[in-house]
Structure 1
């Protein structure tokens, strides 16, 4: 699925696409938990086109907060 098509489907309110984007964001959110535990960075920079999809980063942040140890 191309980025333009995905963006259009999200803009049209396609709930199945939105759920897939949220699921992908959740899976990605688990990834930075280990570096956060090891290095305790003040800032973590995440880039790329997928981060602009509605719901992706929100799901990633929620997953990271749920799996990261409290300060």
Structure 2
């Protein structure tokens, strides 16, 4: 239960930080470049999400490790 609360708090914190990073990235960009800046932010967000998901999928699909000295034969 405690781990779930900690994980939820970390996830919410990262999510809120991304909002402020997006605002900071768009600040100071000339009006004629706002579309390019917005597109770059969205592409990097989607690419990061796909990369993170693929890493999690590889970890989840990997076989569990057995302690040394154990045998698989019956």
TM-score (norm 1): 0.34
Structure 1 or 2: more helix by fraction: 2
TM-score (norm 2): 0.33
